[in-house]
Amino acid sequence: MREIIWSDNAKSDYDNNIDFLLREWSVTEALQFVDEVAAILKTLPLMPEMFPATGYKDLYKGVVCKQITMLYKVTPTTIELIRFWNNYQSPDRLKPV
């Protein structure tokens, strides 16, 4: 089974999304986001290609919720979480991996 590795950007995005939900919404929404990510991360090592591939080699994108897309890279031994991208941001700001 592949090991899940968090990039610095993924950690920062994840924390920022939780902070935003706690500040602008409620603990309930923040916990829901945490639970949705946890459910995906539980299944991802078993089915790393469960989400669609992007135009970049070995890079996949999965919708966590309608506002957040998780970008991750699959190698033979790891799954690297690249970003938790807010879908309301301009895609031009997302740099290729």
The token pair at 18 is 């939780």
Q: Which residue stretches of the chain are H helix?
A: 8-24, 27-43
Give the domain ranges of the chain: 3-86
Task: Look at strands 59-65 and 68-74 and give their pairing.
Answer: antiparallel
Contact 82, 72 (CB under 8 A): yes
Reported as a single tens digit per residue, the pLDDT across 40-71 is 999 999 999 999 999 888 999 999 999 999 99
CATH number for the domain whose boundaries are 3-86: 3.30.2310.20
Provide the pLDDT for residue 87. 82
**pTM for this structure?**
0.88
The token pair at 36 is 């949705």
